[in-house]
Structures are given as structure tokens and as C-alpha cells.
Chain A
Amino acid sequence: MAKRVAIVGTGQTFHTSHRPDVNGQELINEAVLRALNDADLQMKDIDAIVIGNMDHFEGINYVDCWSVDGSGGTMKPIIKLTTGGTTGCTVAIGGFHLVGSGMFDRVLIIGWEKNSESNTTGAITTAFDPIWDRLVFAGAISGLAAEAQAYMARYGATDRDAARVSVRDRKHALNNPHAHLRREVTLEQVLASPMLADPIHLLDVCPRSDGACAVIMASEDVAEKSCPQPDWILGTAARHSYSYLGDADYGRLTSMREGSQELWKKAGIKEPRKELDVIELYQPYSFGGLIWIEDMGLVGPGEAPRYIWDGNTDMGGELPINPSGGVISCNPIGATGLIRCAEAALQVMGKAEDRQVPDVKLAFSSGFGGCWWTDMILHGRKKPQ
């Protein structure tokens, strides 16, 4: 019989573009100690570890092996999961499975990255097919630009609509001491920033950050012992849709559409826009904040710009998105998805401090990556039935 699973503690490092003061193990350790402290647990209480980052971003591999000093993994069951951009969300889903299976009571989940130690665009490009994709592919931005271009052509949206999303997230980041970039920008500044790949401006996209995040999940048998208000996991979904980039339906994210449908069905959600209280979306560029909330079914196709302009996703709006400032404000890639999960957990636990949305009962977090794939988690305050 499957166990119910809750997040009982979270920890993040501070994030910046370059952390030469620590090596990988030491960076991981900062997040782990904070998560243990938050959950009022010690390393000896942890039964198993799931860890992940982007392969070869640090010019080193097998992080599960070499990081045990920092992760606490010495002589413990430990497993590595790496799924590209979605890694941080995948490690959380992996931890959820380990605890939910009843095999482990408390699992420590770690995502981390030192983007400063490699050429990120070069490294991402090697993740794509060397024969068919690599000649023209230019890292994440090229594919995202093609998606944005198709969305604009289909629905008549503009780069000004996207800039509004960037302005929102960068403003929200002011409330988050963990965010890497904490500076407000105006619509005009976004639109005047250098064009990276049409129609994406520099201020439409995420930075590269160094940092780590850790989350502790516990089974229903022990969750409330160390955490009076745990964040219960109500469901998870993961979808991979294509092998080759040219197979994608540009302008739509089919993995997001099908994954979220599964999640709403699992949790009995009929109107996600009204029932969800907050969203932490893995949104590495502003256009994703338009396209993907349509695929989640929050609004109809082509309706996102109006919904965003009306302030519905700002703090204090109908459904705040990215109170943390999101990926646009902080992006240690292997940790980024787990930060979304941790931030959603903080919202449910009521521990999000200056970025807290009042009275969060239901939260959503996601991961995005590669050939338009999506991982997602639904969080709730009440123990699921």
C-alpha cells in the first residue's frame, strides 16, 4: 500500500553567478544543512538520498559518488537522477516515489549546479542529436525563440506582452533573499535590451547561477513528528513528447498540456485557475509565462497576454505566479526545478516570509527542459485522502 508523502524541510544556498569560494561538495552541504535544520532532523535520520545536476556542466560526472562528504551520503542508499532542465523536479518526483513506496521513511533530495564552471550553451548543445540537431542549434535560447516566434504568429501576441511577464518576475524577486538577480526592470528596459535571438531580448531570459537546493520528504508515519505543517504531495506527472526538435508543435507545449490534465484529474481539480492558490513555474524565459499557462488550462489559447496584463498573476492577484522571482531571477540549472518545489512547499507551510501568498491551500510547481518536456508536482496543506 502506497504511503502519503510530505515535504518537511527545505534549504537553499545563496545564489550568484560565480561561487569560487566553495567546491561542489561544499555548495551541496550548505543546502543540506539548511534543509536538515528546517526539518529539525539530523543526517542520521535520513534513510536515502536522491541527487542530480546537469551532466558535464561542471566537467565532472557521477555526482552521487564524489559528493558524499557534502551530501551526507556516506554509506547510505543514494541514487542520481539527471534529466536536463527538468532535473530538479525529477529528483523530487524520484524522492516522492521512494517514500511513497514505503521503502524509506525520510529521503533527502538534492539539486545543484555550478554553471560558472562550464560553457552552458556549448554544454546544452551537446545534449542534442549530433547528426540532425547540432549543426544549427544554439543552446536553450534558439529553441525557445522558435517557440516564441510561432506563438506570436498564431495568436498575435507581441514581445511587449512577454516583457510584462519579465517585469512581474523581476519585481517579485525583490522579496526573495535567495534570488540571484534582485533588480526591478521596466517594460521599456526589457524591450531595449539586446536581441539574443528574435524575438527574445536579454531581459526576457534567465541568468546562469551557481547554487544548490535540498528538500526532505517524509512518509505519513513520521512527517508530522518534525514538522507541524508539512507540505503534502497530492500528485506528480512527467511527460516527454519528442526525440527530434522538429517534431514539436511550436507555439504549444504538449507535455505541459497532457501532464497537467493528468494532475488535475488525479486531484479532482475542475477549474485550476480558481482552485490553485499559487504557482512556481519553471519559466526560463518570459514567453513561457504566456504559452505554458494556456497549456495548463488556466486560460484559453491566446488569452494569456490579457490575463497577465490585468495583474491576475502578480502578488495580490487572482493567482500569483512565481512569488520567488522565478527562474528569470535565479537559475542554477540542476537545482532550478527543485527550487520551484521548495518554494511551493514554503508557500503551503506558510514559511515564505516576504514572498508569502496569504492562505495557500493548493500550490503547483514544475520543471521544464530539453525537447519540450515537463515534470510537475501538486502540493497541498491537507493530507490527501
Chain B
Amino acid sequence: MVRQEQLIIASGDAVQPFAYSVGMHGSRFFTEIRDNCRFMAVRCPQCGKVYIPPRAVCGDCFVEMKEWVEVGPQGVIGTFTIIRFAFLDPETGLQKPVPYGYGFIKLDGADTLFQHYISVEEEKRLRIGARVEPVFSKERKGSIRDIEYFKVIEPIAKLPTLSFPRRFWAGIWF
């Protein structure tokens, strides 16, 4: 029988550091989280949509946004999942600990969804429409990790409604 061997070259412990600018709007967001535990979003002057993460341009209207709006800190789960499969976290190079709750949260007053961890301690309470609030870390550094996770405070059945302009398709409004 022919013995088959494979020659393999692996990348080993190679590291590729990078720097990434979060921009002026993003900087304000993280400063407010760090110093005041406040969520700051930005409103489009044309369509009125309130964006989080805040950014300089409304993609729909293609206009600059400068009006800041405080949103949250509470909100409802817009949608979510519980990640149960093992995978390599590119931030650490290690297996990500699973299971964990991953949610898109509609913070009160915002029109887009803010994604973060949702505690799965009481898995059954995780529902679309359930009310959540953030748990902030004690020592905050101005990063997304200053918010440790969101936790369900009251499971309600009401679905979040989107307040930005609706679209017509196949006879019904979304």
C-alpha cells in the first residue's frame, strides 16, 4: 500500500497588528460611554432616521448628519441568536467561549439596531420584543467592551416597530 504524506506549512504564531480610526462621530460615542454611560446617536436632517452607531453621513439621503440624540440605555431585542458552535475568534486567535447570546437591540429612540452580547443566564427570557438594559463595566476605557452585555429586564411580547419611512412591496407595507 502506498503511504501518503502531506507537506504542510502553517502560519504559526504570526501576528498582523493594525490601527483603525473610528472617526469623530464614533469617538464621541465612546467618550460618552466611558465618562457618562450614555448612548449617543445621530439624526438625519432629511429623513429623520436616528442612527447608532453614529456616523457622519446618512447613506439613504447622502447628507451630512450633525444633530446628536441621546438614546437608550434601555431598549428591546430587535432580533437575536444564541451562538452554540465553536469558532476561532480573529481578535484573540483562540476559540470563542460558547454559548453566548448575540442580539440586535433597538435602543429607545433609535431607528437602527445596536449589536452586543445578551446574557443567556435565563435563556427562556430571550425573545424578540423583550426589554433589555446594558450592564457597564466598572473600569471603562472608551471601547465597545465598556458595555459588558445587555440583560433582559422584562419579557414583553410587543414587537419593535421601525419608525423610519416604510416601503411598499407586493401589496403590503413594511
Contact = CB atoms under 8 A, between A and B. Distances in A.
A79 interface: no
Interface stretch (B32-40, B132-140, B166-174): B166-174
Contacts of B172: 300-301
B102 interface: yes
B113 interface: yes
B15 to A, nearest CB: 14
A203 to B, nearest CB: 13
A242 B60 CA distance: 9
A250 to B, nearest CB: 4
A135 interface: yes
Contacts of A294: 170
B73 to A, nearest CB: 16
A245 B105 CA distance: 11
B88 A121 contact: yes
A150 B145 contact: no
B17 to A, nearest CB: 12
Contact of A142 (B78, B83, B113): B83
A75 interface: no
Interface in A339-354: none
A244 B145 contact: no
Contact of B84 (A20, A139, A197, A250): A197
A123 B89 CA distance: 9
B104 A250 contact: yes
B71 to A, nearest CB: 12
Interface residues of A, number: 52
Interface string A132-154: 11111111011001110110011
Contacts of A153: 79, 128-129, 159
B62 interface: no
Interface in B65-105: 78-85, 87-91, 96, 100, 102, 104
Contacts of B81: 142, 145-146, 149, 197-200
Interface in A184-208: 194-200
Contact of B59 (A154, A242, A297): A242
A27 B128 CA distance: 45
Contact of B112 (A20, A123, A244, A251): A244
Contact of A146 (B59, B104, B144, B159): B104
A309 to B, nearest CB: 20
B128 A252 contact: no
7 contacts: A121-B87, A131-B20, A135-B116, A136-B115, A153-B159, A243-B55, A247-B112
Interface of B: 6, 11, 18, 20, 22, 26, 51-53, 55, 59, 78-85, 87-91, 96, 100, 102, 104, 112-117, 128-129, 144-145, 159, 162, 167, 169-172, 174
